[in-house]
Amino acid sequence: MARYLDESQSNETKTRRKLLDQRRMAYRRAIESYAEQRQLQEQLSDYPELIAVNYLASSRALQPRSAPPGR
């Protein structure tokens, strides 16, 4: 019976460690993503004209286009 308890505790420990590892990796990915976004924003801030061009291009893409006249 002691062996049964040891195995269940072992499984619980493995499960807990796995969940902790998953949470740790998700946190790490979030930090890396944030760092990459900050680096990209920093690089883009060196070229403000690119920001303006991208803004204009995206705003034009979002505008509804007029439909061609029907016959």
| Cα separation values, 25 from 8, 16, 29, 55, 62, Å | 25, 14, 6, 34, 36
Say yes or no to pLDDT of 62 above 80: no
| Structure-block tokens of residue 36 | 């990459």
- Give tens-digit pLDDT for 7-44: 777 899 999 999 999 999 999 999 999 999 999 888 87
